[in-house]
Structure 1
């Protein structure tokens, strides 16, 4: 017989996937596996959810996935990955493969919208009317919350593919297969390997390319602030979290580039506006749990 109700979350990333079992907002079990082909990866995740379902009564399931995603509930491909640079994943039926046959409620959103929700509930985004979350890793994604709700419309925010002003002297062509030098094509993990001429983890802090990377991220922050009036932009992902000098340099360049136009962005306030996510690497997994909580509340 199944025990007390539990929440299940799945964070599906470009390089790894995490299945989470939670009691409220406390993670009790976590299983991590490499993101490979859709059938293999989603099949393994579904097997894990089925194992938990045999032991517990599942209250809800939350799925926080890399995108782009079809999030229009009126479309027959709702919960499916759209055209993506991730080989083999365009058209992957993420929600269907993970939830078909379940009678508990479920919700799906982008991994970054989920992380933004988690930071709003439990992290550095508490009390924010407008909040952005940006992750820099295999790709670049951005989630946006207004009044505590993820922004959806024709699709969902795709800020990683903005094409913004380049730093003087930066001749890197970009690595995005769709747009070359969009932000993702300039600062995601594969792009950094090309820009730095080595794995980013092996590059020294004084490598000259980091200045260009900071410029690009500062341009992204400026675009977000000017268009969304976000009170905070929270960063996750290995690039943002592992280089202690990077966000301070981003803040400095951002303030210089804005030229005193936004009165709430100053050299002093930038420290609180541009910061690392408080939940760190757990922002993504807890984002899936936040989506499960949202699904349960609507049931």
Structure 2
């Protein structure tokens, strides 16, 4: 019999895709692939899942993907990629390709909603009712959790495409092909490459242009605090976790911009409210595992087994 805690998870990102086999937060096996074309990348993931299904077996599958995604189960294009800056991926049937091979309960959600779920389950969000997870990397995304449930509506949160107040003197036009200077067009890896002329990890911390980036991040944090009132905001992704000085500089702007209006926002240290994910770069793949666990829990609840 397949152990009920054995879960397969897929984290599909704009740069790389990870497949994991796990029990709880313990990853038993993993495979990594570059995100190239849908046929190539999804084909490699399907092959991995089929191998695990034959050898080890798994009780559920969680799929955590970059977006935007159609997450309405009643829609004819449920589980497909909508219009995305990632070339060739608009219209890709992610759920159809991966869910068909699972032969078990499965669930799909955005990678950031899933990462928030993992942090709520095993990381920095334990014991909280509301949580926001931001990722700053190839793109900028945000997942929201209320009562342990990812937020969905007409679509899902598209935090990265907010257009917020720009810093005085900042003439960078942004890099988003849809909106120019939305948050993704200002803070993503490609945006930093366009602004600085080199990759983010190669830019010196004392480069004065980081002040514009810190301002933009502060605008996003402030908007989230005002609109969603989360108990904690976690900032992950290669840029979020790789450039910790950005958070320190951004927080100074946040405090100044809010001007004492929100009583739960401390005036000095941000650690209790805005911090790095406790799971680090494991939040993504474990988010997929958490989705798999969630679909099993829901199924058992409906059957009256809890």
**TM-score, length-normalised on structure 2?**
0.95
RMSD: 1.1
Partner of 1:183: 183
How far apart, in 2, do the equivalents of 1:210 and 1:144 lie? 27
3-state DSSP of counterpart to 2:116: helix
Does the CA contact (< 8 Å) of 2:46 and 2:101 recur in 1?
no
- Quote how far apart the aligned CAs of 1:3 are: 5.5
Structure 1 unmatched runs, 5+: none
Does the CA contact (< 8 Å) of 2:82 and 2:91 recur in 1?
yes
Partner of 1:109: 109
Partner of 2:304: none
Does the CA contact (< 8 Å) of 1:82 and 1:91 recur in 2?
yes
After superposition, give the CA deviation of every residue in 1:173-224 in whole Å (9 maximum; x if it has no partner).
Answer: 0000000000000010000011112121111001111111111011000000
Deviates more, 1:260-269 or 1:187-196: 260-269
- Quote how far apart the aligned CAs of 1:56 are: 2.1
Partner of 1:24: 24
After superposition, give the CA deviation of every residue in 1:55-80 in whole Å (9 maximum; x if it has no partner).
Answer: 12320000000000000000011111
3-state DSSP of counterpart to 1:58: coil
1:141 is aligned to 2:145:
no
1:99 is aligned to 2:99:
yes
How far apart, in 1, do the equivalents of 2:134 and 2:194 lie? 21
3-state DSSP of counterpart to 1:33: strand
Does the CA contact (< 8 Å) of 1:251 and 1:271 recur in 2?
no
- Quote how far apart the aligned CAs of 1:270 are: 2.3
Deviates more, 1:51-60 or 1:37-46: 51-60
Structure 2 unmatched runs, 5+: 300-306
1:195 is aligned to 2:195:
yes
Q: Aligned pairs, how many?
A: 298
3-state DSSP of counterpart to 1:64: strand
How far apart, in 1, do the equivalents of 2:3 and 2:258 lie? 52
Does the CA contact (< 8 Å) of 2:2 and 2:58 recur in 1?
no
Partner of 1:46: 46
3-state DSSP of counterpart to 2:244: coil
How far apart, in 2, do the equivalents of 1:99 and 1:296 lie? 15
Does the CA contact (< 8 Å) of 1:196 and 1:207 recur in 2?
no
Partner of 1:119: 119
How far apart, in 2, do the equivalents of 1:85 and 1:262 lie? 35
After superposition, give the CA deviation of every residue in 1:32-75 in whole Å (9 maximum; x if it has no partner).
Answer: 11000001000000000000000123200000000000000000
How far apart, in 1, do the equivalents of 2:157 and 2:205 lie? 31
Partner of 1:256: 256
Partner of 2:63: 63
Partner of 2:10: 10
**TM-score, length-normalised on structure 1?**
0.97
3-state DSSP of counterpart to 2:58: strand
- Quote how far apart the aligned CAs of 1:126 are: 1.2
